[in-house]
Amino acid sequence: MADEDTDRGGLSGRTLAMASLMPVFPDEPEQVPPLREPGPRIVTIDPLARALRAVVLVKANVPKTARTAETLGTERGGHGVIVDAEGLVVTVGYLVMEATEVEVIDSGGRTLPAKVVAYDFATGFGLLRTTQPPRARPVTFGDSNRLKYKDQVIIAGHGGAKTARRVLVTDRRDFAGYWEYLLDNGIFTSPPYDSFGGAALLNDHGQLLGIGSLQVGDAWRGPSGTLPGNMFIPIDRLKPLIEALREGRQVGTPRPWLGLYAQQVPGELAIAYVSSDGPAERAGLRRGDSIKTVGGEAVDEVSDFYRKVWAAGPPGTRIVLGIEREGDEFDVTLRSVDRMQYLRIETGS
């Protein structure tokens, strides 16, 4: 589930220097100071240093028979952030999707077994709970809705100040992922942070603003071209859901899922991949088919396609797609399903 512009995962530890990507913002380099590394006395009271200690390493093992093993791998690694005193950890969901074994490594190197509490497909957040309370103080949530273009923020992975990098917010916009995912008002930053999966997006007060999801080739778009960077899931999307999710309860009505990856290419909306034994494959759809309509209504953008499919009804709803294949046009009827059931994901408190 990755391509050269959008890569999910990425725990490599290499980070590009900020100055190397600043020509698009010629007035910014002098105004973006490096992240300070407090001395020993300041560390005990500095809210940012305290927040960095709450960023943990997440390791997950997934069976080879899992639906996502082929696309996301069986051994996954990334980051997470401690958000309550009992060991609730928020991360990006694809790290722990279908995982049977999860462990969290805290800032002191202590390994804690953890259980997957929840995975929310609509936002992409995943929640874990450690078997023992962590030693680090949990972070508080900031106001991600206030973030705007050119605001300075900090990306941090497990490892404290040495992993933290100051970056700029380069955009706030919707993001449509080809794996039947649509995020409203995502946070885009640059320069790129390679170890982005589950990384913390923080302000100078140590408040959590977002969770790292993707590396993208167009975090900034302008007349002169694009800049690479990252996309973060805004923490404000989690706030109204967290009480239900921490109890393992699903929030809202599940969306109908078709099991196909749609990509926008010049002049058409094409199917790039069909999930094994999913509704699309069972209906006979193939990679390379062009999607023309949903329920008789024309579609030409990925986001519009998702919205029309999701508006059709809950999982189990029959959805009619107008398809073009090698010059022939015809309708295909799919019976949508609940993706949680397809993936056989079991969560709980």
- State the pLDDT at residue 247: 83
Extents of the domains making up the chain: 1-252, 256-343
- State the pLDDT at residue 120: 92
CB of 79 closer than 8 Å to CB of 72:
no
- State the pLDDT at residue 24: 42
* CATH for the stretch 1-252: 2.40.10.120
pLDDT digits (tens, 9 = 90+) for 77-127: 999 999 999 999 999 999 999 999 999 999 999 999 999 999 999 999 999
Residue at 228: amino acid letter:
P
pLDDT < 50: residue spans in the chain: 1-45, 349
Assigned CATH topology for domain 256-343:
Pdz3 Domain (2.30.42)
| pTM for the model | 0.85
- State the pLDDT at residue 262: 95
pLDDT digits (tens, 9 = 90+) for 171-196: 999 999 989 999 999 999 999 999 99
- State the pLDDT at residue 346: 58
